[in-house]
Structures are given as C-alpha cells and as structure tokens.
C-alpha cells in the first residue's frame, strides 16, 4: 500500500509538464529522468526496465549509482512511462522506497534502450 501511495504522488506530482501544458496534446512524447531508491540493485531492475521499455517502444537508459540507487531516463508517451513505473513497483524482487523525477527535453536522436555501466 505504501508503494502505491508513493507511485501516485510521483506520477501525479508534475502531471502538467511543459509540453503537455503548452500543447494540450496528451499524446506527445516526453522525456523523464528518475533516481530510484530502495532495493533496486542486484534484483534485475535495469534489465526489467529495458525489457519493458522495448516492449512499449520507449527509449532511454538505466544505470546503477554508487549510492545504491538506479538512475534511468525514459522517453515516449507519458502513459507508457507510467506503465513501466507501475510494473517496476509490482515486481516481486524490486522494492522501491522513493523516486525523484524531473522532466527533460526530448532527445530526437535517441534510438533504443541501453543498460549503462
């Protein structure tokens, strides 16, 4: 239940991203940077994120950080990014305590999803 509360707060806290607010178009692509804290290293987080991103046609990357968190950037439709976050929360090995999120400019040149080291 606690995870759902965090997820709801994270997803809805900046629902009015500049692209959506300016264009009014819910179907435009967005790019988000996330720093995920919790039991997120050594549990398949990056590879699960990659599989989910590729299956939904999203681009981006994921990388383990020295402090035990995982940084990831996801680009695509906001509803698809939300689906990935929900699936990561529901994974039986991953335990997310906190997500820090910020919007970034869309990278028109990016193709695919990479696991960074």
Catalytic residue numbers, as ranges: 46, 64
Is residue 2 within 8 A of residue 67, CB to CB? The reply is no
Rounded distance between C-alpha atoms, residue 72 and residue 77, angstroms: 16
**Other CB atoms within 10 Å distance of the CB of residue 30:** 19
Specify whether the CB–CB gap between 96 and 6 falls below 8 A.
yes
Terminal Cα distance for the chain, rounded: 32
Q: How far is Cα 17 from Cα 105, in angstroms, rounded to an integer? A: 11
């Amino acid at each position: 239940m606690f995870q759902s509360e965090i997820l709801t707060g994270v997803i809805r806290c900046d629902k009015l991203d500049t692209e959506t607010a300016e264009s009014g178009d819910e179907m435009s692509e967005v790019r988000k940077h996330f720093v995920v804290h919790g039991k997120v290293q050594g549990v398949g987080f990056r590879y699960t994120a990659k599989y989910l991103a590729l299956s939904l046609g999203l681009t981006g990357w994921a990388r383990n950080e020295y402090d035990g968190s995982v940084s990831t950037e996801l680009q695509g439709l906001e509803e698809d990014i939300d689906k990935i976050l929900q699936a990561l929360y529901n994974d039986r090995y991953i335990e997310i305590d906190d997500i820090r999120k910020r919007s970034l400019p869309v990278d028109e040149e990016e193709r695919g999803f990479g696991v960074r080291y």
